[in-house]
Amino acid sequence: MSYKIRFAEEKDVSTILHLIKELASYELLLDQVVATEEFLLDSLFKKKSAEVIICEYDHQPIGYALFFTSFSTFLGRAGIYLEDLFVIPNMRNKGFGKAMLSFLAKTAKERNCGRLEWSCLDWNEPSIQFYKKLGAVPMDGWTVYRVTDDALTNLANL
C-alpha cells in the first residue's frame, strides 16, 4: 500500500477541519463543531496546544489523529493524550488506524512518555474491539467530567 503518515503543517488546516467534521458526523455530533480554520491555525500552529498527524493514501488525506501532551503525577512523566483518531469510512479495516496508533506509540517512546491514552464512546463497539486487540485496557471506575459554557464561566467567577 502506498501510504504515508506525517505531522500536519499550517497548509493542512482546511483538511484537518474537514476531517474533524467527518468524525463529528460519524459520532452524530456535527452540530457541536464550532471550530474554524482560524481557531485551528491559532491553536495548533501558533499556540501549539495540540499536534496532528495526517495519514495519506495515494497522496490523499484519509485520516488524522489529534493529540497533546498530558502529565502523570504518579509516573512523574509526560504522556500523550489522543483526542481524535479518525479514518474515513471507505478506508477502514485496512490497517491505517493501527498504523497511526503505532506512529503515536513510537512518538511517545521517542519523547520518553509514560503512556498513550484516549477515550472512546461507549456505543462504539467496533473501536472498542479494535483497541482491545492492540492491548489497550479500559479504565474501569473512572468517569470523565467536563465543565463548558455557562458552567465554565460560573466556575471561573467563583
Over the stretch 59-110, which tens digit does the pLDDT of each residue have?
A: 999 999 999 999 999 999 999 999 999 999 999 999 999 999 999 999 999 9
Catalytic-role residue among 3, 57, 131, 145: 131
pTM of the model: 0.93
In this predicted structure, the answer to whether residue 1 has a pLDDT above a threshold of 70 is no
For residue 118, CA distances in Å to 16, 22, 45, 50, 99 come to: 19, 19, 22, 14, 16
Q: Which three cell numbers stand for residue 45?
A: 500552529
Let me know if 64 is a catalytic residue. Answer: no
Q: How many domains does the chain have?
A: 1
- pLDDT for the residue 51: 98
Q: Cell 479500559 sits at which residue?
A: 138
Number of Cβ within 10 Å of residue 131's Cβ equals 18
Domain at 29, CATH number: 3.40.630.30
- What domain range includes position 152? 3-156
> What are the tens digits of pLDDT across the range 106-150?
999 999 999 999 999 898 899 999 999 999 999 989 888 999 999
